[in-house]
Amino acid sequence: MKRRTVTALAAGLGLAASLMGTSALAQDKMRIALVVKALGIGFFEAAARGAEEAAKELGNVEIIYTGPTDTTAEGQIEVINALIAQGVDAIAVSANDPDALVPALKRAMDRGITVISWDSGVAPEGRQMHLNPSSNELIGNMIIKLAADHLPEGGQVAVLSASATATNQNTWIAEMNKVLPNYPGIEVVATVYGDDLADKSYREAQGLIQSYPELDAIIAPTSVGIVAAAQAVADAGKIGQINVTGLGLPSEMAGAIESGASKSFAIWNPIDLGYSATMIAHALASGQAKAEPGAVIPIGRMGSITLDETNTAAMADPFVYDASNIDEFKSIF
């Protein structure tokens, strides 16, 4: 008897609570939460700006930009629990740990919340889809294109990579070599390794400058190498003769762009990333698109993405930074 009363009471409480929940959910604005690794990081603040831009374009969308104070999985779980409790419509997360967030995100999906990951992914069972900023193919093509765009007559280029065993860089260079025939007249004369150490990268770049007097460009698909190479070119007085390009961070490359040692370089654009994540979350939460292999989801001004067999998609080509936009981005990341 007693137990039955307790159960009835509990059920009553639950009913009251769920009634309160529905009345609160009866608002028509779609709420999309952008959960980042930690607050106060320039890259993610920029992503939040992109999310706001998407919200404005979509109309009737409220962005909840949130995250823990330090980059821990526990902190993100607390944030996600609070978002589940609020019954947000979608959660787009850049994860501190691909596995630890899975139970919390599964619970979110059980309660009808759309869950996607972006930038730093979650294991497949904890999200509906994952948005990568770019893909290996796109990056490989971009780094050679950056060099070739300034060499209409063709010329010699050399690659300054991280370590010889760095998986990312090796994949990108392999992809670059695949598309090399599309750029006639461009010859890759050497690949050297600076091990992502500033001084070693600098010496390797110096070596390239001395060994290949006809060298036209150095491609460094690493943020450490590109800065060191630009410095070596400037110190050798070869600005205007050798163009340094590759993947780098705007804050670190602003000087090289200003001096002319680098005409342009590329890296993902956090604003576009936040914008696209919001667009995808909106499309999935509103039922306009479904997260399944092969699905094509429109992402506003960024075009569209196609999901592969693991429900992962690449956003776009890496974004190109040059003298026209470096001032805007150098303070962001």
Partner 1 sequence: MSLAERHIPDRLHPPLRRALLRWESLLLLVAAAIFAANAMASPYFLNAWNLSDATFNFTEKAMVAFAMALLIIAGEIDLSVAAIIALASTAMGAAAQAGVGTPGLVAIGLAVGLACGAFNGLLVTRLGLPSIVVTIGTMSLFRGISYIVLGDQAYGGYPAGFAFFGQGYVFWVISFELALFAVLALAFGVLLHATTFGRAVYAIGNNATGALFAGIRVARVKFVLFLLTGLMSGVAAVCLTSRLGSTRPSIAVGWELEIVTMVVLGGVSILGGSGTIPGVVIAAFVMGLVTFGLGLLNVPGIVMSIVIGALLIAVIALPRLWAMRRRA
Supply the minimum distance, in Å, between the C-beta of residue 79 and partner 1: 7
Which residue type is seen at 78?
E
Supply the minimum distance, in Å, between the C-beta of residue 102 and partner 1: 6
Supply the minimum distance, in Å, between the C-beta of residue 10 and partner 1: 6
Distance, in Å, from the CA atom of 259 to the CA atom of 283, rounded to the nearest integer, reads 44
Query: For partner 1, which is the closer residue by CB, 70 or 187?
Result: 70
Query: For partner 1, which is the closer residue by CB, 34 or 302?
Result: 34
Single out the residue of 286, 265, 275, 284 nearest to residue 316, CA to CA: 275
Distance, in Å, from the CA atom of 294 to the CA atom of 312, rounded to the nearest integer, reads 10
288-304: b (≥16 Cβ within 10 Å) or e:
ebebeeebebebbebee
Supply the minimum distance, in Å, between the C-beta of residue 230 and partner 1: 28
Residue 1, classified by CB atoms within 10 Å of its CB into exposed (0-12), middle (13-18) or buried (19+), is exposed
Query: For partner 1, which is the closer residue by CB, 96 or 262?
Result: 96
Q: Which residues bind partner 1 (CB under 8 A)?
A: 10, 13-14, 16-18, 20-21, 23-24, 39-40, 64, 66-75, 77-79, 81-82, 84-87, 97, 99-100, 102-103
Query: For partner 1, which is the closer residue by CB, 23 or 309?
Result: 23
Structure tokens at 198: 């500033």
Supply the minimum distance, in Å, between the C-beta of residue 273 and partner 1: 21
Query: For partner 1, which is the closer residue by CB, 83 or 148?
Result: 83
Give 213's contacts (C-beta < 8 A, 6+ positions apart). none
